Amino acid sequence: MSRPKSKRLLKAQEKFKAAVTTYLDSIGARPGHFYDYEMDTPAGLLHLSVYDDWVVARFDDVKQATTATKTIGRPCNPFSGKWNFHYYDGSIESLNPNQVILDLSFYLDKLLHWEPSPSGGG
């Protein structure tokens, strides 16, 4: 049987979700269908959902996304297009909204500014 979450952890998770949701709204993510959000990227449509301590992401165009995400230094799963961001490491500090947004925005900004090569290789 797992221990109930502490009030501190619940508050940190609430702040995490609020910060990530606000950030995604600010960069043009729109409501999705199966996932909470979706956004167009140079690597194709990216689906996103925000949970208590991680962000689920999956690309429609797996081949293009694999090329793009390898180029930017955080590869997606080359078979499924999943590109998840896990933050909680057992410490409340790992959910610090400022640090989480710095990390997430680093990779999403690189993705949004990625330009495929004319030969299609990234």
Total tally of structural domains belonging to the chain: 1
- The span from the CA of 97 to the CA of 102, in Å, is 8
Tell me, yes or no, whether 97 lies in a domain.
yes
Tell me, yes or no, whether 31 lies in a domain.
yes
Q: So what's the pLDDT on residue 34?
A: 94
Tell me, yes or no, whether 119 lies in a domain.
no
Tell me, yes or no, whether 59 lies in a domain.
yes
pTM as predicted:
0.91
* Stated length of the chain: 122
Its domain, for residue 87, covers 7-112
Tell me, yes or no, whether 39 lies in a domain.
yes
Long-range contacts of 28-31 (CB under 8 A, 24+ apart): none
Tell me, yes or no, whether 80 lies in a domain.
yes
Token output for 18: 């609020």
Task: Residue 38: give its domain's CATH number.
Answer: 3.90.1150.10
Q: So what's the pLDDT on residue 41?
A: 97
pLDDT in single tens digits along all 122 residues of the chain: 677 889 999 999 999 999 999 999 999 999 999 999 999 999 999 999 999 999 999 999 999 999 999 999 999 999 999 999 999 999 999 999 999 999 999 999 999 999 988 765 55
Tell me, yes or no, whether 121 lies in a domain.
no
Exposed/middle/buried for 107, CB within 10 Å: 0-12, 13-18, 19+? Answer: middle
Q: Output the furthest CA–CA distance in the chain (Å, rounded).
A: 55
